Amino acid sequence: MRVLGVDPGLTRCGLAVVEVSPARKVQLVCAEVVRTPPGDELGRRLVSVEDAVARVLGMYLPDTLAIERVFSQHNVKTVIGTAQAAGVAALVATKAGIPVVFHTPSEVKAAVTGSGRADKAQVAAMVSRIVGQEVTGPADLTDAVALAICHGWRFPSQEALARAVAAAPAGRGGVR
Protein backbone atom coordinates (compact mmCIF):
# COMPACT_ATOMS: atom_id res chain seq x y z
CA MET A 1 0.00 0.00 0.00
CA ARG A 2 1.31 3.43 -0.93
CA VAL A 3 0.21 6.31 1.30
CA LEU A 4 0.71 10.05 1.00
CA GLY A 5 0.79 11.63 4.45
CA VAL A 6 -0.01 15.34 4.72
CA ASP A 7 0.77 17.43 7.78
CA PRO A 8 -1.23 20.50 6.71
CA GLY A 9 -0.15 24.06 7.21
CA LEU A 10 0.14 27.31 5.30
CA THR A 11 3.65 28.30 6.33
CA ARG A 12 4.94 24.71 6.21
CA CYS A 13 3.02 21.73 4.81
CA GLY A 14 4.68 18.34 5.18
CA LEU A 15 4.22 15.76 2.42
CA ALA A 16 5.54 12.20 2.61
CA VAL A 17 4.93 9.06 0.60
CA VAL A 18 5.63 5.64 2.07
CA GLU A 19 5.22 2.14 0.70
CA VAL A 20 3.98 -0.31 3.34
CA SER A 21 4.25 -4.04 2.67
CA PRO A 22 1.75 -6.57 4.06
CA ALA A 23 4.50 -7.52 6.52
CA ARG A 24 4.45 -3.89 7.78
CA LYS A 25 7.86 -3.05 6.33
CA VAL A 26 7.99 0.64 5.47
CA GLN A 27 9.96 2.23 2.66
CA LEU A 28 10.20 6.02 2.49
CA VAL A 29 9.54 7.05 -1.11
CA CYS A 30 9.41 10.84 -0.83
CA ALA A 31 9.41 13.48 1.92
CA GLU A 32 9.32 17.24 1.51
CA VAL A 33 8.04 20.43 3.06
CA VAL A 34 6.13 23.01 1.04
CA ARG A 35 6.79 26.50 2.34
CA THR A 36 4.75 29.60 1.61
CA PRO A 37 5.69 33.11 2.70
CA PRO A 38 3.42 34.40 5.48
CA GLY A 39 3.21 37.76 3.72
CA ASP A 40 1.78 36.31 0.51
CA GLU A 41 -1.92 36.55 -0.27
CA LEU A 42 -3.94 33.59 1.07
CA GLY A 43 -5.10 32.39 -2.35
CA ARG A 44 -1.54 32.29 -3.65
CA ARG A 45 -0.44 30.27 -0.60
CA LEU A 46 -3.27 27.78 -1.07
CA VAL A 47 -2.40 27.39 -4.76
CA SER A 48 1.19 26.56 -3.73
CA VAL A 49 -0.14 23.78 -1.47
CA GLU A 50 -2.47 22.59 -4.23
CA ASP A 51 0.33 22.47 -6.79
CA ALA A 52 2.64 20.53 -4.48
CA VAL A 53 -0.01 17.96 -3.51
CA ALA A 54 -1.02 17.49 -7.17
CA ARG A 55 2.63 17.08 -8.21
CA VAL A 56 3.32 14.44 -5.53
CA LEU A 57 0.07 12.60 -6.33
CA GLY A 58 0.99 12.55 -10.01
CA MET A 59 4.57 11.43 -9.46
CA TYR A 60 4.06 8.75 -6.80
CA LEU A 61 0.46 7.55 -7.36
CA PRO A 62 -0.51 6.79 -3.74
CA ASP A 63 -3.46 4.54 -2.93
CA THR A 64 -4.64 6.82 -0.12
CA LEU A 65 -4.04 10.31 1.21
CA ALA A 66 -3.83 10.55 5.02
CA ILE A 67 -4.22 13.99 6.58
CA GLU A 68 -3.77 15.10 10.16
CA ARG A 69 -7.16 16.00 11.59
CA VAL A 70 -7.30 19.60 12.74
CA PHE A 71 -9.27 19.98 15.89
CA SER A 72 -8.00 22.32 18.57
CA GLN A 73 -5.10 24.67 18.89
CA HIS A 74 -4.64 27.79 20.97
CA ASN A 75 -4.11 30.12 18.02
CA VAL A 76 -7.34 30.44 16.02
CA LYS A 77 -5.51 31.98 13.03
CA THR A 78 -3.20 28.95 12.89
CA VAL A 79 -6.15 26.53 13.09
CA ILE A 80 -7.91 28.27 10.22
CA GLY A 81 -4.81 28.19 7.99
CA THR A 82 -4.16 24.56 8.85
CA ALA A 83 -7.77 23.64 8.06
CA GLN A 84 -7.61 25.51 4.75
CA ALA A 85 -4.44 23.65 3.72
CA ALA A 86 -6.02 20.33 4.77
CA GLY A 87 -9.11 21.12 2.70
CA VAL A 88 -7.01 21.90 -0.36
CA ALA A 89 -5.10 18.60 -0.01
CA ALA A 90 -8.36 16.65 0.43
CA LEU A 91 -9.89 18.36 -2.60
CA VAL A 92 -6.91 17.63 -4.85
CA ALA A 93 -6.88 13.95 -3.85
CA THR A 94 -10.64 13.56 -4.19
CA LYS A 95 -10.59 15.12 -7.67
CA ALA A 96 -7.85 12.62 -8.58
CA GLY A 97 -10.01 9.72 -7.32
CA ILE A 98 -7.77 8.98 -4.33
CA PRO A 99 -9.47 8.17 -1.00
CA VAL A 100 -8.85 10.65 1.81
CA VAL A 101 -8.67 9.72 5.48
CA PHE A 102 -8.09 11.84 8.56
CA HIS A 103 -6.15 10.79 11.67
CA THR A 104 -5.80 12.58 14.97
CA PRO A 105 -2.34 13.46 16.28
CA SER A 106 -2.78 11.00 19.15
CA GLU A 107 -3.64 8.15 16.72
CA VAL A 108 -0.49 8.90 14.75
CA LYS A 109 1.72 9.12 17.85
CA ALA A 110 0.32 5.86 19.20
CA ALA A 111 0.88 4.08 15.88
CA VAL A 112 4.55 4.99 15.58
CA THR A 113 5.67 5.25 19.22
CA GLY A 114 3.15 3.19 21.18
CA SER A 115 2.03 6.26 23.12
CA GLY A 116 -0.56 8.82 22.08
CA ARG A 117 1.23 11.37 24.25
CA ALA A 118 4.68 11.09 22.64
CA ASP A 119 6.52 14.33 21.99
CA LYS A 120 7.84 15.54 18.63
CA ALA A 121 11.36 14.24 19.31
CA GLN A 122 10.06 10.73 20.08
CA VAL A 123 7.96 10.70 16.91
CA ALA A 124 10.92 11.87 14.81
CA ALA A 125 13.23 9.23 16.31
CA MET A 126 10.76 6.42 15.71
CA VAL A 127 10.01 7.55 12.16
CA SER A 128 13.73 7.32 11.34
CA ARG A 129 13.94 3.92 12.99
CA ILE A 130 10.86 2.58 11.17
CA VAL A 131 11.99 3.67 7.69
CA GLY A 132 15.60 2.64 8.34
CA GLN A 133 17.14 5.98 7.49
CA GLU A 134 17.62 9.35 9.13
CA VAL A 135 14.63 11.60 8.46
CA THR A 136 15.70 15.13 9.30
CA GLY A 137 13.87 18.38 8.94
CA PRO A 138 11.11 20.26 10.65
CA ALA A 139 8.39 18.48 12.60
CA ASP A 140 6.05 18.99 9.64
CA LEU A 141 8.21 16.58 7.63
CA THR A 142 8.47 13.85 10.25
CA ASP A 143 4.79 14.25 11.11
CA ALA A 144 3.84 13.69 7.46
CA VAL A 145 5.93 10.49 7.39
CA ALA A 146 4.33 9.38 10.68
CA LEU A 147 0.84 10.01 9.25
CA ALA A 148 1.59 7.85 6.23
CA ILE A 149 3.03 5.07 8.42
CA CYS A 150 0.03 5.25 10.76
CA HIS A 151 -2.41 4.75 7.95
CA GLY A 152 -0.36 2.05 6.28
CA TRP A 153 -0.08 0.07 9.50
CA ARG A 154 -3.40 0.58 11.19
CA PHE A 155 -6.06 0.97 8.57
CA PRO A 156 -5.71 -1.45 5.61
CA SER A 157 -7.89 -4.04 7.34
CA GLN A 158 -10.58 -1.44 8.04
CA GLU A 159 -10.52 -0.31 4.40
CA ALA A 160 -10.80 -3.93 3.20
CA LEU A 161 -13.75 -4.47 5.53
CA ALA A 162 -15.48 -1.31 4.28
CA ARG A 163 -14.99 -2.42 0.66
CA ALA A 164 -16.38 -5.87 1.45
CA VAL A 165 -19.42 -4.41 3.20
CA ALA A 166 -20.05 -2.03 0.30
CA ALA A 167 -19.78 -4.86 -2.22
CA ALA A 168 -22.01 -7.31 -0.29
CA PRO A 169 -25.39 -7.75 -1.96
CA ALA A 170 -28.27 -6.46 0.15
CA GLY A 171 -30.58 -9.17 1.49
CA ARG A 172 -28.10 -11.99 0.90
CA GLY A 173 -26.57 -12.13 4.33
CA GLY A 174 -24.49 -9.06 3.62
CA VAL A 175 -24.10 -6.46 6.30
CA ARG A 176 -25.78 -3.16 5.47
The catalytic site residues sit at 7, 68, 140
Cβ atoms of 100 and 65 within 8 Å: the answer is yes
Helix (H) or strand (E) holding 126: helix 120-131
Q: Which residues contact 94 (CB under 8 A, 6 or more apart)?
A: 100
Burial 55-84 (b: 16+ CB within 10 A, else e): ebbeebebbbbbbbbbeeeeeeeeeebbeb
How far CA 57 is from CA of 46, 96, 101, 130, in Å, comes to 16, 8, 15, 23
Distance of CA 110 to the CA centre of its chain: 15
